[in-house]
Structure 1
C-alpha cells in the first residue's frame, strides 16, 4: 500500500497472524494465532479492512476498520475497532500513518467519517485520538446476545 522511511503499510495477510496475536496480547486481550487468522479472514470477507505497519520482522502496528451503515445517515461511517502499536514502536508516528491509511480505505468504501472504539481503561488511546483530531461523542452501550430459550429477560 505505502512505504514511508522503511515503514510499510499493507493489508494484513494470514501469514501475519502470529505477529498480530503478539500485538493484541499487549492490549491485555490475548488471542491465539489460529483465532487471529480466522477472525482476520472473516473481517476481510465482511468488508472490513485490516492494515499492518511493518518495519522489519513482525508487524509493529495494526488497525482494523469496518464500514457501518445506519438509517439516520446517508453514508456509512468507518468504525475503527482495533488500533495498536507495539510498545517499543510508539511515539514514532506509526499510529498516525495507520490512521491516515485507514482514512483512505474508509473514503474508498464510501464512508464520510471515522469513529474509534475506545475503552474507559485505554487512556493512551484516548489521548492519541484527541491529539489526532477526534472529538468525544456518543456513548456506546452493549449487552451480550443470549441464545433463544436461555432465559433472556
Structure 2
C-alpha cells in the first residue's frame, strides 16, 4: 500500500517542487529550464508570494498545486488564484489531482478567501473534467483578456 501525503511546501521542498514545476512547464510547451524552475520556486517560497502544496507517494514527489493571493475590489475581499496544478505522469489516475484540489479548496476556506479562481487551456479536457466534477463553474459573465508586455 502506497503512503500518500500532502505537505505545505517550504523552501526545503523547493528542489522537489521545482522538478515537478519544470515538467509542468514542459507539458505546456515550454523548454525545460531546471535551474530557472528552481530559482522561481525558491523565490516564491522564500518571499511568501505563493502557497504550494506538494503531494508525495512513499516520499517521492508526485504532484503539486500552487496558489497566489489576490484581492477582489468588487467583493472587497481576498481571493486565491489556483495557478498551477500538476501530477507527474507516473502518478496519474490515483486521485492525487483530486486530493490536491481538495487541499487547495480547504486552504482557501480556512484562509477566509471569498473564492478560488483558475484558468486552463481549452484543450486540457482532463483538468476541465476534474474541476467541473468538484463544483467549479466556467465563467460565462466575464471575458478574459491578456496583454503581453515582453
TM-score range, shorter chain: 0.7 to 0.9
The alignment status of 1:142 with 2:146, answered yes or no, reads: yes
Pick which of 43-52 and 133-142 moved more. Answer: 43-52
Cα displacement (A) at 1:22: 3.2
Looking at structure 2, the residues matched to 28 and 52 of structure 1 have their Cα atoms a distance apart, in angstroms, of 22
Q: 1:19 to 1:122 in 2, by over 3 A?
A: closer
**Structure 2: segments with no counterpart, 5+ residues:** none
Aligned counterparts of 2:57 and 2:112: Cα–Cα separation in 1: 30
CA distance in 2, matches of 1:77, 1:10: 21
Q: How many residues of Structure 1 are paired with residues of Structure 2 in the alignment?
A: 142
Which residue of structure 2 lines up, in the alignment, with residue 14 of structure 1?
A: 14
Q: Runs (4+) of structure 1 moved beyond 6 Å?
A: none
Structure label with greater radius of gyration = 1
- Partners of 1:118 and 1:97 lie apart in 2 by 18
- Please give the TM-score of this superposition, normalised by the length of structure 1: 0.79
Structure 1 residue runs of 5 or longer lacking an equivalent are 147-153
